[in-house]
Structure 1
Amino acid sequence: MKKSIIFGVSLLSISLYGSEIMYSSSVKNLFETSDSTTRKGRLLPTSEVKILEKKGNRVKIEMEGYMKSGVSTAIYFVKGKRILVAGLSKSGNFDIKKISSSKDENAVEWEKVVLTAYTKNSNLTKDLDSLYSKAQELFKNNCSICHPAHPVNEFTANQWPSMFKAMVNRTAIQKQDRYLVTQYLQKHAKDMKGE
């Protein structure tokens, strides 16, 4: 009887979290196991994760993205664009499964991958639109002080990080929100309409 109760609770836990899609609202540490204390990666804001299970104050997550062939330290949102989903330590030993491989318009080889990792069960939301709204407000209210704010679709996804970095120190945008704004700008850039 005791085993069937534990099994039932485990199934309930999996069903509650097993297919839940969430988005990171801040930069979050990634760990290899549920009880590791050493950070081996970072998840960026607005990145989509699937919650696989919850264990204590950690969640086991799964995320999809693209790795440049031969480079195992960065997972990107789409191939050929530097929109970072997660940065991984060279010493990390994450579970990364290759789904497929293809080339971008510059004939660079990319691998579509699924990464499994652990992170703290905080700063995750189901509401991606609210994250984009916050980033849009921060950008609009801070980046129009010195000049009219650039339209979000004025630059490409690869141009936005350096453009934003060149100006952000003249604004009141807090350090913890800078990645959020950068992700918003990149994912709404002029070359992201079809992505």
Structure 2
Amino acid sequence: MKKSLILGITLLTVSLYANETMYTSSVKNLYEASDSNAVKGRLLPTSKVIVVEKNSDKSKIEIEGFMKAGVSNAIYFSVGKRILVAGLSKSGKFDIKKLSSSKDKDGVEWKKVVLTAYTKNENLTKDLKPLYDKAEDLFKSNCSICHPIHPVDEFTANQWPSMFKAMVNRTAIPKEDRYLVTQFLQKHAKDMKGE
């Protein structure tokens, strides 16, 4: 009786989180298996994940994104844009399934993929808006001290990281929030409207 009750509660907990859409609020470690402690990748803030299964300390997640032909250790948010969703160790053996493929305007092949991995349960949220609000506030309150604030849509997704990196050390933006601000700027860049 006791074992069946525990099993029932475990299955109910797992099913409550099945296929739930969540977003990462910080840089998160990725693991190949639920019982592994070897970090084999990193997931960046504001990345959308589908929680397939949630256990006591880790969640099994699926991450959709794009891989550039010949680059097997990076998953990007959009074709032709350097908006990193996840960086993977070359020694990692993640389950990555190809969903489709296409070519960008330069004829480079991109594969739409889904990565299955595990991550610790903390720093996942259902609502993306507070993350973007925090990033926007950090950007506006810090980057307007020395000069007029640049409109978020002034630069392209590929231009923003170097622009931000060139000046971020002159700000009070904490190191742990710098990827969050970069992701916000890239995902709201002038060439990201409608994506």
Question: What band does the TM-score fall into relative to the shorter chain?
Answer: over 0.9
What is the aligned partner in structure 1 of residue 144 from structure 2?
Answer: 144
Q: Which runs of 5+ in 2 are unaligned?
A: none
Alignment-derived partner of residue 194 in structure 1: 194
CA deviations 1:83-128 (Å, max 9, x no partner) are 0000000000000000000001111100000000001100110110
SS of alignment partner, residue 86 of structure 2: strand
- Which residue does the alignment assign to 1:72? 72
**1 CA distance for matches of 2:113 and 2:79?**
11
How many pairs are equivalent?
Answer: 195
Q: Which amino acid aligns with 2:145?
A: I
Alignment of 1:26 with 2:26, yes or no, is yes
Equivalent residues in 2 for 1:12-91 (5 A)? 12-91=12-91
Query: TM-score when scaled to structure 2?
Result: 0.96
How many angstroms apart in 2 are the aligned matches of 1:5 and 1:115?
A: 33
Please state how far the C-alpha of 1:70 moved relative to its aligned partner: 1.9
CA distance in 2, matches of 1:140, 1:107: 37
Classify the secondary structure of the residue corresponding to 1:119: strand
Could you tell which deviates more after superposition, 182-191 or 3-12? 3-12
- CA RMSD across the alignment: 1.3
Cα offset, 1:11, TM superposition: 3.9
Contact between 2:66 and 2:111, CA under 8 Å: does it hold in 1? Answer: yes
Percent identical among aligned pairs is 75
Corresponding residue for residue 97 of structure 2? 97
Cα offset, 1:55, TM superposition = 2.0
| Residue of structure 2 equivalent to 1:157 | 157
Deviations 1:125-167 (A, max 9, x none): 0110000000000000000011001000000000000000000
Specify the code of the residue in structure 2 equivalent to 1:179. Answer: Y
What is the rounded CA distance, in whole Å, between the counterparts of 2:108 and 2:2 in structure 1? 55
CA distance in 2, matches of 1:14, 1:56: 10
**CA contact under 8 A between 2:82 and 2:158: conserved in structure 1?**
yes
For the 8 Å contact 2:18–2:52, the answer to whether it is kept is yes
With normalisation by structure 1, the TM-score equals 0.96
Which amino acid counterpart does residue 129 of structure 1 have in structure 2? K
Letter of the 2:129 counterpart: D
CA distance in 2, matches of 1:105, 1:12: 47
Question: How far off is 1:178 after superposition?
Answer: 0.1
Equivalent-residue separation in structure 2 for 1:173 and 1:121 (angstroms): 25
Could you tell me which residue of structure 2 aligns to residue 128 of structure 1? 128
1:56 positional shift: 2.0
Amino acid at match of 1:133: D
Aligned-residue offset at 1:10:
4.7
SS in 1 for 2:46: coil
Which residue identity is paired with 2:125? T
